[in-house]
Chain A
Amino acid sequence: MANTLLDTVWDLHTVRRLPNGETQLFIGLHLVHEVTSPQAFQMLAERGLRVRYPERTFATVDHIIPTDQQQRPYADGMAEQMFAAIEENVRANDLPFFDRSTGRQGIVHVIGPELGLTQPGMTIACGDSHTSTHGAFGAVAFGIGTSQVRDVLATQCMSVAKPKLRRIEVNGRLSAGVFAKDVILHIIGSLGVQGGVGYAYEYGGTVLDAMSMDERMTICNMSIEGGARVGYVNPDATTEAYIEGREYAPAADDFQRAAAWWRSLASGPGASYDDVVVMDGADIAPMVTWGINPGQVTGVDDVVPSPEALDGPDRAASEEALEHMSLEPGRAIAGIPIDVAFVGSCTNARLSDLHEAARVARGGRVADGVKALVVPGSQRIRAEAEAAGLHEIFREAGFEWREAGCSMCLAMNPDKLQGDQICASSSNRNFKGRQGSPTGRTLLMSPAMVAAAALAGEVADVRQMVAS
């Protein structure tokens, strides 16, 4: 029986089985950001330990960094303190640090791949649940908590149970106006927000095969929203082409050997899975969430579902969601008015995402009363977008063009919803309060759909806007 990529990578990185039955797993790449690391460095110092593999540990700043005014010291004293902490910690431990002065700063899950740090066959950890993003390259990548960040800093290992494996195959073709974001929202809507607990997800099928690395990253990014801590795509020629020539990619002399090894890792045709789910890409419409978790989602041409169709706790959950969202069951998703439009986050702030949003925004005008912002995922993406003139398209249409960071994906920097504003957002979480106001409301959708909503002032079907 052929092995899966998960089996092969897991075995290769297994140091030993711990007495409690978990695996002591070696972590090939550890990414660090300002928010979940200060306590970990503190715990390390308290035990008199140092970073064990500084050359496999890379740091950046993304969550708390303001994306409008970036002069130091920051007006926000707590942000300033958090920056001072990471600067001191990387200095004391000799860690490579991609801060703004390097031109390589950005959202940790955007810059890892962009710099070529993220490669197939690696185990990767980061104190952030969207570490699953890196699985797009055929890496096994985990989001971890702060105590585990400490463990990985101190030992380059973590204690972890091997997950079961579910293959999710999306075949056929996507319609125009349907993007990777819609595919993953569709998957989460079908399997539920806890359907993946205890599983890793292996994504495949003709739709995934045809996807760019940017698109595969969007899919893997939101694995955790479906409950799966790990999600990956088997490496192929697309993966190799993306990595080749990047700063931390294998050197030219090594590249062919590296690529041959990467290809050998892919799950074989005869591999066995704990579960297999097959979906048809043609069934997927542009998706929009109507509730307070990413599984509460439907097609833009659909209506807000009625809780009465559900029973028990699911019914209570959807009643709570509709109350928070102030949405009536049965109302059309298209036409829900919005106050804010946010293109950004580790899910959808890569160059191709900005291109798709710009294609919709070009020549249009953000609706009166709507605040619209575009926040590139990294300094490099920002520069590339500017070289392509995207910033002009956005600005002319009335979008703010920001510096790189997490921005309005979460409420740790100045970009926040006010009161009960509704935000069309290309990010990954529509939890209550996620975007900074306890009563704020989030509608998750693709970047093209966000741009369409910004122009229309309400949720709009991007398929009609690009067709016309």
Chain B
Amino acid sequence: MSEGAVIDRIVGRGVPVRGNDIDTDRIIPARYLREITFEGLGPHAFEDDRRALNGAHPLDDPRFADAGVMVVNKNFGCGSSREHAPQALLRRGIRAIVGESFAEIFFGNCVAIGLPCLTTTPEHADALQALLEEAPDTDLTVDVEAERVVTDHGDYPAAVPASAKASFLTGRWDALGQLLENTDEVRATSARLPYLTGFGGESS
């Protein structure tokens, strides 16, 4: 089957985006859901937060301009299921997110587009953010396979759930190929569903 690329490690600069419960309305405001493609979303990531902070948002900080790794805190990506949120981050050049925890739909959307989210402890998230704030030119290696974030200044454990890890390491993070593989089994499953077969009545 045609699949995506193997994603085993991401190397790049980082950007700290602090705060718990950052919801997807904040990552991409709803007005950008009015587009019928994802293409132009990148520049609008965190637009309202950035506007409110008047240039003081980390995404506007030139020191973090080419960051590929975002470091966040707890329950990142909660709220709306909009895939526009990870799409906007991806299109801004974010290739991995490291944080304390992620909302479930957001996490799944990220897997589906090849954007690994790694979970670390509050202490390590804070230490990484502080490190980036101090030394923005630090290179990070996000090692999906070893489940670590490696820097010259330290090395941090960062977990990936087994299923997501397997998907990234085999390049099968886009599920569609596998879901298309077994039409007979799908048909067999639908054939045993009472609500698709007249609830076992004679008419079916």
Interfacial residues, chain A to chain B (CB-CB below 8 A): 12-16, 18-22, 24, 26, 28, 35-36, 38-39, 42, 47, 49, 53, 56, 63-64, 78-79, 81-82, 85, 119, 121-122, 127-129, 143-148, 150-151, 154-161, 193-194, 197-198, 224, 227, 229, 250, 253-254, 257-258, 261, 293, 312-314, 316-317, 320, 410-412, 429, 431-434, 436, 438-439
Residues in A neighbouring B108, C-beta threshold 8 A:
144-145, 148, 160
Interface residue B167 (Cβ < 8 Å from any Cβ of A): yes
Q: What 0/1 readout, one digit per residue, does chain B (148-189) give for beta carbons within 8 Å of chain A?
A: 000000000000011110110010101110111010011001
A-B contact sample (18 more), CB < 8 A, given A13-B189, A194-B21: A15-B185, A20-B170, A36-B82, A39-B38, A49-B180, A156-B186, A157-B179, A161-B161, A194-B78, A227-B103, A254-B198, A257-B199, A258-B195, A317-B20, A431-B23, A432-B48, A432-B49, A436-B31
Interface residue B43 (Cβ < 8 Å from any Cβ of A): no
Residues in B neighbouring A42, C-beta threshold 8 A:
36-37
Using known A-B contacts A148-B112, A155-B180, determine if residue A193 contacts B166 with beta carbons closer than 8 Å. no
Closest to B194 in A: A261
Cα–Cα, bound, A21→B162 (Å): 8
Residues in A neighbouring B163, C-beta threshold 8 A:
20-22, 161
Nearest CB on A from B38, distance (A) = 6
User: Would A85 and B36 count as touching, CB distance under 8 A?
Assistant: yes
29 A-B pairs with CB atoms under 8 Å apart are: A12-B193, A13-B189, A14-B189, A19-B172, A20-B172, A26-B186, A26-B189, A38-B37, A39-B36, A47-B176, A49-B180, A56-B196, A79-B34, A128-B80, A146-B38, A146-B87, A147-B109, A147-B112, A150-B176, A151-B179, A197-B101, A224-B79, A224-B105, A258-B195, A258-B199, A312-B122, A429-B23, A429-B79, A432-B48
Cα–Cα, bound, A197→B201 (Å): 39
User: Would A129 and B179 count as touching, CB distance under 8 A?
Assistant: no
User: Would A144 and B179 count as touching, CB distance under 8 A?
Assistant: no
Nearest CB on B from A193, distance (A) = 6
Nearest CB on B from A135, distance (A) = 15
Closest to B18 in A: A316
B107-129 interface with A by 8 A CB criterion: 108-109, 112-113, 122
User: Would B75 and A144 count as touching, CB distance under 8 A?
Assistant: no
Nearest CB on A from B118, distance (A) = 16
Residues in A neighbouring B189, C-beta threshold 8 A:
13-15, 26
Using a Cβ–Cβ cut-off of 8 Å, how many residues does chain B contribute to the interface with A?
A: 69
Cα–Cα, bound, A78→B40 (Å): 14
User: Would A13 and B193 count as touching, CB distance under 8 A?
Assistant: yes
Interface residue B6 (Cβ < 8 Å from any Cβ of A): no
User: Would B25 and A155 count as touching, CB distance under 8 A?
Assistant: no
User: Would A250 and B199 count as touching, CB distance under 8 A?
Assistant: yes
Interface residue B145 (Cβ < 8 Å from any Cβ of A): no
Nearest CB on A from B177, distance (A) = 10
B40-95 interface with A by 8 A CB criterion: 48-49, 51-52, 73-75, 78-84, 86-87
Using known A-B contacts A64-B34, A157-B186, determine if residue A19 contacts B21 with beta carbons closer than 8 Å. no
Among A28, A122, A147, A312, chain B packs the most CB atoms within 10 A around the CB of A147
Partner of B186, one of A128, A155, A250, A438: A155
Cα–Cα, bound, A258→B104 (Å): 33
Partner of A145, one of B101, B109, B162, B186: B109
User: Would A144 and B81 count as touching, CB distance under 8 A?
Assistant: yes
Residues in B neighbouring A194, C-beta threshold 8 A:
21, 74-75, 78, 101, 103
User: Would B179 and A313 count as touching, CB distance under 8 A?
Assistant: no
Interface residue B5 (Cβ < 8 Å from any Cβ of A): no
Nearest CB on A from B196, distance (A) = 7
User: Would A154 and B36 count as touching, CB distance under 8 A?
Assistant: no
Cα–Cα, bound, A197→B75 (Å): 9
Interface residue B29 (Cβ < 8 Å from any Cβ of A): yes
Nearest CB on A from B15, distance (A) = 19
User: Would B178 and A143 count as touching, CB distance under 8 A?
Assistant: no
Among B73, B172, B189, chain A packs the most CB atoms within 10 A around the CB of B189
Q: Please list the 9 inter-chain residue pairs (A to B) with the smallest Cβ-Cβ separation, ordered nearest first.
A: A145-B109, A145-B83, A147-B112, A129-B81, A159-B175, A20-B166, A438-B48, A38-B36, A146-B83
Interface residue B9 (Cβ < 8 Å from any Cβ of A): no
User: Would A293 and B78 count as touching, CB distance under 8 A?
Assistant: yes
Q: What 0/1 readout, one digit per residue, does chain B (4-35) give for beta carbons within 8 Å of chain A?
A: 00000000000000011101011001110111
Cα–Cα, bound, A257→B198 (Å): 9
Residues in B neighbouring A312, C-beta threshold 8 A:
122
Residues in A neighbouring B19, C-beta threshold 8 A:
316-317, 320
Using known A-B contacts A22-B163, A227-B78, determine if residue A82 contacts B36 with beta carbons closer than 8 Å. yes
Residues in B neighbouring A197, C-beta threshold 8 A:
75, 101, 103-104
Using known A-B contacts A122-B195, A433-B25, determine if residue A159 contacts B179 with beta carbons closer than 8 Å. yes
Among B49, B163, B170, B200, chain A packs the most CB atoms within 10 A around the CB of B163
Partner of B33, one of A35, A254, A258: A35
Cα–Cα, bound, A147→B186 (Å): 19
Using known A-B contacts A26-B190, A129-B105, A293-B21, determine if residue A15 contacts B175 with beta carbons closer than 8 Å. no
Cα–Cα, bound, A468→B84 (Å): 48
Cα–Cα, bound, A438→B28 (Å): 12
Cα–Cα, bound, A358→B110 (Å): 43
Cα–Cα, bound, A122→B195 (Å): 8
Nearest CB on B from A181, distance (A) = 18
Using known A-B contacts A119-B195, A159-B178, determine if residue A145 contacts B82 with beta carbons closer than 8 Å. yes
